[in-house]
Amino acid sequence: MSIIVLGTVALDTVKTPFGKRELMLGGSAVHFSMSARLFTKVSLVAVVGKDFPQKHIKFLEQRGINTASVVCEEGPCFKWEGEYVGDLNSANTLRTELGVLAAFRPELTPEQRKTKYVFLANLDPEIQMHVLESMSKPRLLGVDSMNFWIHHKKAQLIRLLKYVDIYVANDQEARSLSQETHLIKAAKALHAMGPKMVLIKKGEHGVLFYSDKFILSLPAYPTDKVIDPTGAGDTFAGGFMGYLAKVQKLDQLSLKRALAYGTVAASLNVEGFGVEKTGKLKLRDLEERLGQFKKCFHF
């Protein structure tokens, strides 16, 4: 079973205590695809500018990503620059250039509209709704967002959440949108807005999953090799959604396994800049780390 992801394909400049990389391949849809591709076929819907290096398109295609709906428009690419200091849990955004993303209105092919597994990665909620309205009854719909849209397009995001199966947010975003400081209360409040399942990412503290059927909190994989956290949340979402698309089940066991796969995928992402680590991943790498993860927390 295939999955379609709408999101950003970006050129990121990132500085951490371990170095700096300029204009490297990044973006929410790219990081999502790097882990989702290990489980299922991935179609990427995004826009790039004329300054986007062709080598990055080849990089994606060599990893089995369908880039037919990555359109190239006149103008510059979406670019983001950030710096991590201290505990590396969050980045200081230094510069954001929307470029061609500002006028992006994605159009799906008739075949893509029939895709049953859909993830709307971080983008303007109006663009996310535009894509959702063109879909033909997806079986599983996941949505991510960010504080910028919560602050500037809250009404549009809340409208979108009424149609969502899985809402993915980090702890700051969950608190901001729900107006609850306690994460369990925040998850309940977000659930009441429409999503059947709420997934709150807590960085180095793991993930909280909430639904009517069960609540689960998983710790993060205990890695001490944190080089660049950029895209870890998107990598998590890709592992989570990719596994569910593969097994085509939403029972409690499948959801728990999906959470575990997403967790170990994110732990591998942070061990290199950008997609340096995830671009080389094989499913056996995830399986090996999943085995180590189980040993850490089984009792």
DSSP the chain: --EEEE---EEEEEEETTEEEEEEEE-HHHHHHHHHTTTS-EEEEEEEETTS-HHHHHHHHHTTEEEEEEEEESSPPPEEEEEE-TTSSSEEEEEEE-GGGGG------TTGGG-SEEEE-SS-HHHHHHHHHHSS--SEEEEE--HHHHHHSHHHHHHHHTT-SEEEEEHHHHHHHHT-SSHHHHHHHHHHTS-SEEEEE-GGG-EEEEESS-EEEEPPP--S--S--TTHHHHHHHHHHHHHHHHT--SHHHHHHHHHHHHHHHHHHTTSSTTTTGGG--HHHHHHHHHHHHHHH--
The reported pLDDT for the residue numbered 229 is 94
Record the tokens describing residue 12, joined without a space.
């990121």
The reported pLDDT for the residue numbered 89 is 78
Q: List the domain boundaries for the chain.
A: 3-167+228-297
Distance between CA atoms of 11 and 28, rounded to whole angstroms?
11
Beta carbons of 200 and 169 less than 8 angstroms apart: yes
Assigned CATH topology for domain 3-167+228-297 = UDP-N-acetylmuramoyl-L-alanine:D-glutamate ligase (3.40.1190)
Per residue in 218-232, pLDDT (tens digit) is: 999 998 889 999 999
Ranges of the chain with pLDDT below 70: 1, 299
The reported pLDDT for the residue numbered 157 is 97
The reported pLDDT for the residue numbered 224 is 86
